[in-house]
């Protein structure tokens, strides 16, 4: 395993100590504590995003390569191949790790790719098919997405970028709640894999009732199961 140079992490905000961790370091007990959790999450999200964006181009490319290696091995272990499976990836923004080479490899092996699209704010995401050679358009927040004419699909596997994460499989995202909202609305839960930096691990994200844990967390340093894998 290569040693990857990473910038040092700053200390968490001091007001994290104000939060009542409870039995599992999780659910706020009252409105004030819910506000404290939201405030802490905003600060951690800003800190971790800034540190991730501060990675050099070479380091980000190397970490992305290692992450793709881990993901390839995990999917190989969990499935009998990607042919015919619908895999939802993402278009990297704000310094997120780049999985596009692996996604294209899976498409060449027979997988159907999809990208998440915000059609309505504060509503579940939809997943549009991402075909080879398709011309993407600018969606919400200028994120490239397949055009409205692309078929909507239901993914078997969802790769969800994370800003931070904890050992319970809970992810700290960009703050919109879109992945939690989307997974809660799906009748058949997909295999969910949160992907991000090992250095973004937190003791807890203080998950609330609406937060949905990932099946797995994958970083450049390895794969961490967080609950019983879906069959």
- Tens-digit pLDDT profile for residues 107-162: 999 999 999 999 998 899 999 999 998 999 999 989 999 999 999 999 999 999 99
- DSSP 8-state assignment for residue 152: B
Strand partners, 195: 161, 218
Strand partners, 152: 128
Rg for the chain, CA atoms, rounded: 17
- Tens-digit pLDDT profile for residues 15-45: 444 444 443 445 556 788 889 999 999 999 9
Average pLDDT value for the chain: 87
Length of the chain measured in residues: 231
> What is the rounded CA–CA span in Å between residue 43 and residue 19?
14
Asked whether 145 and 139 are in contact (CB, 8 A), the reply is: yes
pLDDT at 228 over 60: no
| Residue 118: partners with Cβ closer than 8 Å, 6 or more residues away | 125, 139, 140, 141, 178
pLDDT at 10 over 80: no
Fold of 23-225: Rossmann fold (3.40.50)
Q: How many CA atoms lie within 13 A of 44 on its CB side?
A: 27
pLDDT at 221 over 60: yes
The predicted pLDDT at position 127 comes to: 97
The predicted pLDDT at position 227 comes to: 60
The predicted pLDDT at position 27 comes to: 53
Asked whether 23 and 69 are in contact (CB, 8 A), the reply is: no
> What is the rounded CA–CA span in Å between residue 195 and residue 169?
11
What's the pTM value of the predicted model, to 2 decimals?
0.84
Residue ranges of domains in the chain: 23-225
> What is the rounded CA–CA span in Å between residue 98 and residue 154?
22
The predicted pLDDT at position 58 comes to: 98
Asked whether 68 and 102 are in contact (CB, 8 A), the reply is: yes
Residue 11 confidence class, pLDDT cut points 50, 70, 90:
very low
């Amino acid at each position: 395993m290569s040693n990857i140079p990473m910038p040092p992490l700053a200390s968490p905000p001091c007001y994290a100590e104000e939060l009542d961790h409870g039995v599992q370091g999780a659910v706020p007990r009252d409105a004030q504590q819910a506000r404290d959790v939201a405030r802490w999450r905003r600060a951690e999200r800003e800190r971790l995003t800034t540190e991730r964006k501060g990675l050099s181009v070479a380091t980000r490319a190397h970490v992305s390569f290692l992450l793709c290696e881990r993901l390839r091995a995990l999917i190989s272990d969990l499935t009998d191949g990607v042919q015919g499976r619908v895999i939802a990836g993402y278009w990297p923004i704000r310094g997120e790790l780049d999985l596009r080479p692996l996604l294209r490899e899976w498409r060449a092996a027979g997988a159907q790719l999809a990208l998440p699209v915000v059609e309505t704010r504060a509503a579940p995401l939809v997943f549009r098919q991402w075909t080879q050679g398709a011309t993407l358009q600018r969606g919400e927040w200028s994120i490239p997405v397949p055009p409205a004419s692309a078929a909507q699909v239901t993914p078997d596997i969802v790769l969800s970028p994370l800003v931070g994460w904890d050992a319970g499989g809970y992810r700290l995202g960009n703050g919109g709640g879109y992945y939690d909202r989307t997974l809660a609305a799906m009748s058949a839960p997909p295999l969910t894999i949160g992907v991000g930096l090992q250095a973004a691990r937190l003791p807890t994200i203080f998950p609330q009732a609406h937060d949905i844990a990932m099946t797995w967390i994958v970083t450049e340093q390895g794969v961490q199961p967080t609950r019983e894998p879906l069959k």
